[in-house]
A and B are shown apart, each in its own frame.
Chain A
Amino acid sequence: MKRLRLFAAPLFALWMGVLSSSAVAEEVSINAWLMRLHEASRHRTYTGTFVVSAAGQMASARIWHVCDGDQQVERVESLSGTPRATFRRNDEVVTFFPESKVAVTENRESLGLFPNLLKSNTAGIGDHYQMKLVGSERIAGLDAEVVQLLPKDTLRYGYRVWSEKRSGLVVQLQTLDPDGKVLEQAAFSELQLDAPVNKAKLTQMMAATDGYRVERRDLQKTTAKAQGWDMAKAVPGFKPMGCYTRPVALLAGAAGRAEQTMQWMFSDGLATVSLFVEAFDVRRHSREGATELGGATRTHTRRLDAWWITAVGEAPAPTLALFVQGLERKK
Chain B
Amino acid sequence: MNTHSQPLNERISALMDGDLPAAELDALLADLAQQDSSANDWHLYHVAGDVLRSQALAPQRADLAFLGRLELRLAQEIVASPVVLQPARELPATSPLAHVSANGPWRWAAGATFTVLVGVVSVGMWGGAAPTSPSQLAAVPAPIVDTAALQAAPVMLRDPELDALMAAHQQMGGHSAWQMPSGFLRNATYERPAR
Contact = CB atoms under 8 A, between A and B. Distances in A.
Tell me if chains A and B make direct contact, with any CB pair below 8 A: yes
Given A108-B171, A215-B194, A286-B30, A317 B92 contact: yes
Contacts of A110: 172-175, 179
B83 interface: yes
B182 A272 contact: no
B126 interface: yes
B82 A57 contact: yes
Please tell me the size bucket of the interface on B. Answer: 35 or more
A151 interface: no
Nearest to A312: B169
B158 interface: yes
Interface stretch (B3-11, B51-59, B60-68, B140-148): B140-148
B153 A57 contact: yes
A33 to B, nearest CB: 9
Interface stretch (B12-20, B38-46, B106-114, B128-136): B128-136
What DSSP secondary structure best describes chain A's contact surface? strand
Given A137-B137, A263-B168, A295-B82, A113 B190 contact: no
A265 B131 contact: no
Interface string B168-195: 1111111111111110111011111111
Interface in A67-114: 74, 76, 78, 80-82, 84, 86, 88, 95, 97, 100, 102, 104, 106, 108, 110-114
Nearest to B137: A135
Given A50-B185, A58-B145, A284 B180 contact: no
Given A287-B159, A289-B92, A181 B85 contact: yes
Contacts of B130: 180-181
A97 B193 contact: yes
Contact of A55 (B30, B83, B95, B158): B83
Contacts of A104: 194
19 contacts: A34-B177, A51-B145, A53-B145, A58-B147, A63-B181, A95-B194, A102-B194, A110-B174, A111-B174, A114-B176, A169-B181, A174-B143, A186-B185, A242-B172, A252-B194, A253-B195, A254-B164, A293-B156, A297-B170
